[in-house]
């Protein structure tokens, strides 16, 4: 898993790809395929806090742009990593940039493992939630899971890929979790709570399947050959308990 994610990051053309991990097993595997690894404290509450520690280890300048690619996104194209970095670089007033894609089916909209997002008219995030948002007051009360989504509104799934400036990451790490972040289990809500703006764009390409559940992992194994790299059957059951961030 982590090697596939690292390979996708390498395809983005980033100046450096670093795996931030808190588990020696992840470190050993990652160094085995040639990755640079930074070990971090286990007590971090989010991947964003972990990356902030790595910035301090490396002494990055405040204006450096850093992309957080989660270790459970083996299909995410390198092109999207470049897209989100460029989005932040060109978005005045944005502290963070991220991506989304349309939700085509009711089952996905009502799945709490799928994070939803609503935007303002300028492409900035208004809110993220595990609940279906926006809520169709007249249509969802009697809704069945097989019913089509209502016409006239596009629902969006958030893609867990972020670009930040190093200065903003340092600020984030000093702030405690906010109530909304705690109840939704979504760290990006901490930025909104403290008045930071998050710029959002639709992904230039489909991001593939993120692995949030065992069912997602089965989908990846069954359907995916990334960049003509064959999935090796001998790794079929070797899934790390704790994956790092890149």
Per-domain residue ranges for the chain? 2-214
Pairing of strands 18-21, 36-39: parallel
- Which of the residue ranges 31-45, 124-138, 154-168 would you say has the lowest mean pLDDT? 31-45
Task: Give the fold, CATH level 3, of 2-214.
Answer: Spore Coat Polysaccharide Biosynthesis Protein SpsA; Chain A (3.90.550)
Closest CA to 84 of 3, 16, 189, 12: 12
Which of the two residues, 234 and 170, has the higher pLDDT score?
170
Give 41 or 200, the one with higher predicted confidence: 200
pLDDT(191) > 60? yes
Q: Cα separations (Å) of 120 from 142, 183, 195?
A: 28, 23, 15
- For 210, the token pair is 């993120």
What's the pLDDT at 144? Answer: 63
Query: Average pLDDT of the chain?
Result: 84
Q: What is the mean pLDDT of residues 77-97?
A: 93
pLDDT over threshold 80, residue 241: no
**CA distance linking residue 22 with residue 221, whole number of Å:** 26
Average pLDDT, integer, range 137-150: 71
Highest-confidence segment of 40-44, 61-65, 127-131, 232-236: 127-131
pLDDT of 180 > 90? The answer is: yes
In the prediction, which pLDDT does 61 show? 86
Which range among 101-115, 135-149, 183-197 shows the weakest confidence by mean pLDDT? 135-149
CA angle (31 as vertex; 239, 207 as ends), nearest 5: 55
Check residue 240 and give its pLDDT: 34
Measured in residues, the chain has a length of: 246
What global pTM score does this model have? 0.80
Mean pLDDT check: name the lowest of 25-29, 172-176, 223-227, 240-244. 240-244
Short-list 79, 90, 72, CA closest to 5: 72
Q: How many CB atoms lie within 10 A of CB 173?
A: 18
Question: Does residue 157 register a pLDDT over 90?
Answer: yes
- pLDDT above 60: residue 68: yes
């Amino acid at each position: 898993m982590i090697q596939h994610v690292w390979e996708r990051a390498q395809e983005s053309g980033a100046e450096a790809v670093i795996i931030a991990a808190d588990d020696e097993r992840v470190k050993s595997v990652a160094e085995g395929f040639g990755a640079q690894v930074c070990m971090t404290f286990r007590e971090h509450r989010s991947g964003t806090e972990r990356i902030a520690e790595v910035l301090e280890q490396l002494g990055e300048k405040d204006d450096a742009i850093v992309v957080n690619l989660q270790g459970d996104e083996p299909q995410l194209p390198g092109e999207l990593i470049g897209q989100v970095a460029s989005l932040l670089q060109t978005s005045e007033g944005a502290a963070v940039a991220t991506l989304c894609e349309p939700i085509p089916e009711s089952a996905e909209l009502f799945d709490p493992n799928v994070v939803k997002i609503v935007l303002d008219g300028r492409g900035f995030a208004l809110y993220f939630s595990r609940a279906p948002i926006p809520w169709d007051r007249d249509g969802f009360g009697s809704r069945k899971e097989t019913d089509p989504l209502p016409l006239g509104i596009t629902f969006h799934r958030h893609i867990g890929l972020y670009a930040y400036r190093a200065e903003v990451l340092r600020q984030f790490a000093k702030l405690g979790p906010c109530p909304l972040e705690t109840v939704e289990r979504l760290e990006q809500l901490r930025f909104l709570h403290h008045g930071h703006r998050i710029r959002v764009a639709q992904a230039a390409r489909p991001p593939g399947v993120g692995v949030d559940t065992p069912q997602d992992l089965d989908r990846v194994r069954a359907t995916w050959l990334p960049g003509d790299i064959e999935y090796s059957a001998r790794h079929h059951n070797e899934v790390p308990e704790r994956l790092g961030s890149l």
